[in-house]
Amino acid sequence: MMKKQPFLTERFNDALQYAAQLHVNQVRKGTSVPYVAHLLSVCALVLEDGGDEDQAIAALLHDAVEDQGGKDTYEDIRSRFGDRVAYIVDGCTDTYEVPKPEWKQRKESYIAHLREASPDILRVSLADKLHNARSILRDLKENGTNTFQRFNGGKDGTLWYYRSLADTFQKKSESAMARELALVVDQMHEIAGA
């Protein structure tokens, strides 16, 4: 009887350690929650949606380029984990520029990019945005609309961005995550009185 190869290999373990090291001193915006909690949540969503090992690794590393070193980090990811992982991470990165371009411009460009993105990028990006939206909704329930003060887009910009994301993902993805994102965004708007 032939032994089946494990779904997640040592590459995944390496990526998990690498992501934890990259983000070791980072916390979620406006909280004391270690950033790695977000990365693990996004990875779990990708795996639960049927994602493969490359997508799971990209989920762990999806913010590494933007938050932890730009193009040098991108090249390190490509060298360590391969072209496909690097491609997905690149597709989830909204800018390499320092300082970052104006917030609304970056978000409009990212939404336009998603309309043409591959299924690999869509799955990881959708998991990222769903986890972010869930977190915002939880904070809105606990802290009210003061939650929006920690976001560059403020209340109106944040609500616009997540509604635009939800609409885009519903058109591009059959994933249950897309339907859940739309429901979470509806709840965000309801609590915010928008």
Q: Does the residue 127 lie in any domain?
A: yes
Q: Does the residue 155 lie in any domain?
A: yes
pLDDT digits (tens, 9 = 90+) for 111-160: 999 999 999 999 999 999 999 999 999 999 999 999 999 999 999 999 99
Q: Does the residue 3 lie in any domain?
A: no
Q: Domain range spanning residue 100?
A: 10-192
Q: Has residue 3 got a pLDDT over 60? A: no
Q: Has residue 1 got a pLDDT over 60? A: no
Structure-token match 């060298």, residue found: 79
Averaged pLDDT score across all residues of the chain: 94
Q: Where are the alpha helices (DSSP H) in 28-118?
A: 36-48, 53-61, 64-67, 70-81, 83-91, 103-114
Contact status, residue 159 vs residue 107, Cβ threshold 8 Å: no
Say what the pLDDT of residue 98 is: 80
Q: Does the residue 43 lie in any domain?
A: yes
pLDDT digits (tens, 9 = 90+) for 47-104: 999 999 999 999 999 999 988 888 999 999 999 999 999 999 999 998 888 888 899 9
Provide the pLDDT confidence category of residue 26 given band limits of 50, 70 and 90. confident
Q: Does the residue 125 lie in any domain?
A: yes
Q: Does the residue 186 lie in any domain?
A: yes
The CATH number covering residue 22 comes to 1.10.3210.10
Provide the pLDDT confidence category of residue 4 given band limits of 50, 70 and 90. low
Backbone angles phi, psi at 163, to 5 degrees: -65, -40
Mean pLDDT calculated for residue range 156-183: 97
Say what the pLDDT of residue 6 is: 59
Q: Does the residue 5 lie in any domain?
A: no
Residues marked active site are found at 66-67
Say what the pLDDT of residue 103 is: 94
Q: Does the residue 1 lie in any domain?
A: no
* Total number of domains in the chain: 1
Q: Which residues 6+ apart lie within 8 Å of 146 measured at CB?
A: none
Backbone angles phi, psi at 34, to 5 degrees: -55, 140
CB-facing half-sphere around the CA of 129: CA atoms within 13 A: 34
Say what the pLDDT of residue 107 is: 96
Q: Has residue 11 got a pLDDT over 80? A: yes
Q: Has residue 2 got a pLDDT over 60? A: no
